[in-house]
């Protein structure tokens, strides 16, 4: 009874352990041991199996393995705005570190919508990630997040706090920027240049990061004994367009400021645009600082003094922190504050000689 053994298996069927086992006449268990470099298998057997693996073009099925081992090898990364270069760099950093540790990144972007955030989290959870890194959408609420994420999956919060009370028993770690100190550094820098009438420009009071930055500004002003006028605090959406539009508000009232600490770089760039339009030259007639040090900051005219948050390094750090948590699920929740660094460029200047 002859039999044409089809040694080239049908092109569109997944090759499994059983195929390899059959192909070199050992058991599935042995092949599995080979795959995992177990010292148990005999050298010769190992060689035979390895050759067969190559011959058939075997691809490991991690999902099946994870199912059996009750483990996971993925981490979910949920971002409020992937299109923002700051978060894109962050994502690159996360992926870099996770990849190095053998994890795969499940991506989800929410476009700053709380509803999508819910949906995305739910969908990613079905893939059983070992952990989650979340930069929440504006207005995302702790209780809702807890309800969908549950308590089985460690969560690392990046960049923003959630609204409402953090559930006391949820082991959520956080990685935040040192907003207050950053804004204080910027303000102190302007003061050291001789500035006295300094405004705080942009952002919304409701945002935790804006509150913190404003607090840093106030701290520096008070430490220097400088007065703060109420009309030196201008709110606007954290983007260029709105910032440019609100520029005029700085000069409605006297005494007008001669410098502004801006909520972030986008706002600062918008403000500079607005200043140009009213004939005020930023970096000469009016000093401006930003926050983030996005790539454009170095290339604007004039280049922007700002605070570097090194998003790629933050991404790596976020990944590290989460991996740490996975190693020790019982450790108590950590709150990490990443330092920011003042980068002095030409947009900050002394006040015009009176």
Partner DNA sequence: AGCGGAATTTGGATCGTTCCAAGTCGAAAA
Partner DNA sequence: TTTTCGACTTGGAACGATCCAAATTCCGCT
- By CB under 7 A, name the binding residues for DNA: 14, 16-18, 25-30, 32-33, 35-36, 39-45, 60-61, 64-65, 67-70
DSSP class of 161: P
Residues that bind a copy of itself (CB under 8 A): 11-12, 14, 57, 59-64, 66-67, 70, 73-74, 77, 82-85, 87-89, 91-92, 95-96, 99, 102, 104-109, 111, 119-120, 123-128, 150-152, 240, 269, 273, 276, 295-296, 299-301, 312
88 binds, among a copy of itself, DNA, none (CB under 5 to 8 A by kind): a copy of itself
Partner from a copy of itself, DNA, none binding residue 33, C-beta < 5-8 Å depending on class: DNA
- Which of a copy of itself, DNA, none does 125 bind, CB closer than 5 to 8 A by kind? a copy of itself
Contact 259, 197 (CB under 8 A): yes
Residue 51 Cβ vs DNA, minimum distance, rounded to whole Å: 14
Query: For residues 130 and 185, which CB has a smaller minimum distance to a copy of itself in the complex?
Result: 130
Rounded to a whole number of angstroms, the minimum distance from the CB of residue 32 to DNA is: 3
- Cα(6)–Cα(278) distance, rounded to whole angstroms? 79
Q: 35 or 313, CB closer to DNA?
A: 35
Report the nearest approach of a copy of itself to the CB of residue 228 (Å).
29
Partner that binds at residue 74, options a copy of itself, DNA, none, CB closer than 5 to 8 Å by kind: a copy of itself
123 binds, among DNA, a copy of itself, none (CB under 5 to 8 A by kind): a copy of itself
CB of 105 to DNA, least distance (A): 21
Q: Which helix (H) or strand (E) holds 187?
A: helix 179-192
Smaller CB separation from DNA, 37 or 328: 37
Do the Cβ atoms of 44 and 38 come closer than 8 Å?
Answer: no
295 contact choice in DNA, a copy of itself, none (CB below 5 to 8 Å, kind-dependent): a copy of itself
Q: What percent of the chain is helix, strand and coil (3-state, nearest 5)?
A: 45, 15, 40
Find the shortest distance in angstroms from Cβ 276 to a copy of itself. 8
State the nearest-atom distance from the C-beta of 269 to DNA, in Å: 48
State which residue, 43 or 332, has the beta carbon closest to a copy of itself: 332
Beta bridge partners of 132: 76, 155
Q: Which two three-digit tokens encode residue 153?
A: 């999956």
Give me the residue label for tokens 């009213």. Answer: 278
Of residues 223 and 298, the one with the C-beta less far from a copy of itself: 298
Which token pair is 10? 């049908």
Token pair of 129 as six digits: 């990630």
Closer residue to DNA (CB): 1 or 44: 44
Long-range contact set of residues 303-306: C-beta below 8 Å, sequence gap at least 24:
303/345, 303/346, 303/347, 304/265, 304/268, 304/269, 304/272, 304/345, 304/347, 305/186, 305/189, 305/342, 305/343, 305/344, 305/345, 305/346, 305/347, 305/348, 306/186, 306/265, 306/268, 306/342, 306/343, 306/345
Q: How far apart are CA 31 and CA 22, in angstroms?
A: 10
Contacts of 278 (CB under 8 A, 6+ apart): 247, 248, 251
Binds 206, which of a copy of itself, DNA, none (CB < 5 to 8 A, cut-off by type)?
none
Q: Is residue 337 a contact partner of residue 309, using CB atoms and an 8 Å limit?
A: no
Task: Say how far apart CA 228 and CA 234 lie, in whole Å.
Answer: 13
Binding-site partner at residue 190 among DNA, a copy of itself, none, CB < 5 to 8 Å by type: none
Closer residue to a copy of itself, CB minimum distance, 148 or 222: 148
Query: Taking the complex as a whole, how short is the minimal distance between the CB of residue 343 and a copy of itself, in angstroms?
Result: 16
Question: Measured between alpha carbons, how far is 152 from 175 in angstroms, rounded to an integer?
Answer: 20
Binding at 32: pick from DNA, a copy of itself, none (beta carbon under 5-8 Å per type): DNA
CA distance linking residue 165 with residue 27, whole number of Å: 55
Closer to DNA by Cβ: residue 124 or 191: 124
């Amino acid at each position: 009874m002859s039999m044409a053994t089809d040694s080239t298996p049908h092109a569109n069927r997944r090759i499994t352990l059983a195929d390899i086992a059959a192909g070199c006449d050992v058991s599935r268990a042995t092949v599995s041991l080979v795959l995992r470099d177990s010292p148990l298998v005999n050298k010769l057997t190992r060689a035979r199996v390895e050759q067969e693996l190559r011959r058939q073009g075997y691809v490991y099925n991690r999902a099946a393995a994870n199912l059996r081992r009750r483990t996971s090898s993925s981490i979910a990364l949920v971002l409020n705005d992937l299109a923002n270069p700051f978060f894109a760099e962050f994502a690159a950093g996360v992926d870099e570190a996770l990849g190095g540790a053998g994890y795969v990144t499940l991506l989800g972007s929410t476009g700053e919508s709380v509803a999508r955030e819910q949906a995305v989290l739910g969908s990613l959870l079905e893939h059983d990630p070992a952990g989650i890194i979340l930069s929440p959408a504006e207005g995302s609420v702790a209780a809702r997040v807890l309800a969908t994420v549950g308590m089985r999956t460690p969560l690392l919060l990046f960049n923003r706090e959630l609204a409402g009370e953090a559930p006391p028993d949820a082991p959520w770690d956080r990685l935040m920027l040192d907003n207050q100190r950053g804004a204080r550094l910027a303000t102190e820098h302007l003061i050291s240049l001789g500035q006295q009438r300094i405004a705080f420009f942009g952002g919304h009071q409701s945002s935790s990061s804006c509150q913190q930055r404003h607090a840093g500004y106030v701290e520096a002003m008070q430490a220097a004994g400088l007065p703060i006028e109420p009309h030196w605090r201008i709110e606007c959406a954290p983007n260029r367009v709105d910032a440019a539009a609100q520029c005029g508000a700085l000069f409605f009232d006297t005494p007008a400021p001669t410098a502004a600490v801006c909520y972030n770089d986008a706002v600062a760039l918008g403000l500079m645009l607005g200043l140009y339009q009213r004939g005020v030259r930023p970096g000469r007639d009016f000093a401006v600082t930003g926050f983030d040090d996005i790539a454009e900051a170095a290339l604007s005219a004039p280049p922007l003094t700002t605070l570097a948050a090194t998003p790629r390094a933050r991404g790596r750090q976020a990944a590290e922190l989460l991996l740490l948590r996975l190693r020790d699920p019982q450790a108590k929740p950590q709150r990490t504050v990443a330092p920011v660094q003042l980068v002095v460029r030409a947009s900050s200047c002394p006040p015009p000689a009176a």
